[in-house]
Amino acid sequence: MLNPWIVFFIGFLPPAAAAAFVWVKWLHELREKGKERAAREIAENELRLIRRRGSAPFLSPDPTTFNIFYLPQEKPGEIPIIHAGSDRLLCFAREEVARTLPADCGIAFIFQNRGESADKIRLTMDGEQLELIEEPDIDDAHGLVAFGYKYRPELHGKEQFIAVWFQTRGGFEDTHRYRTVHGFRVLDRVDPQ
């Protein structure tokens, strides 16, 4: 007579092997679906990032050489100017403002937009509104654009962040972040990269 344990294992082995096979197959499919979901999320995030970068302004220091930066008129008949080498103008000719500037002196940072144009744009640095300065249409003007902020001697050389909110002609709205250094000609986009 056969041992009852042998009979038990002979009868139990095929269903157990089938159950184990089904269980292993289910785990494999579950893992594959997880990989597919993760890959899809990565691709969707990358597409979102491409859209954010692609249909947006992209600000950088302007390399244009010039002698004079014209400011908008404040009084009729008066055309205020700043020379390229001025202590308070960050441009191709000056990478750092003079450390001797008084507190709250206005600094102008000449920048260019290498991306899409925007119908509306607003810049803030550490929560404070920055002034957008567009060179008026004068015969020998270069069409330069700058943002202005108040000089703070205690912040000279310290990292700050500029939030650039914009709305494109197509209605797309977003806010990008840039890193700058107070009193220096540094402008790097950090979000999106």
Distance between CA atoms of 176 and 53, rounded to whole angstroms?
9
Report the 10 Å Cβ neighbour count for 46: 10
At 32 the pLDDT is 81
At 9 the pLDDT is 60
Q: Mind listing the pLDDT tens digit for each residue in 21-74?
A: 666 667 777 788 877 787 777 766 666 665 665 678 889 999 999 999 998 877
Query: Cβ contacts of residue 178 below 8 Å, gap of 6+?
Result: 59, 161, 162, 164, 187, 188, 189, 190
At 42 the pLDDT is 72
Task: Tell me the Ramachandran region of residue 157: left when phi exceeds 0, alpha when psi lies from -120 to 50, beta otherwise.
Answer: left
On the question of pLDDT at 157 being above 70, the answer is yes
Q: Residue type at 68?
A: I
At 14 the pLDDT is 65
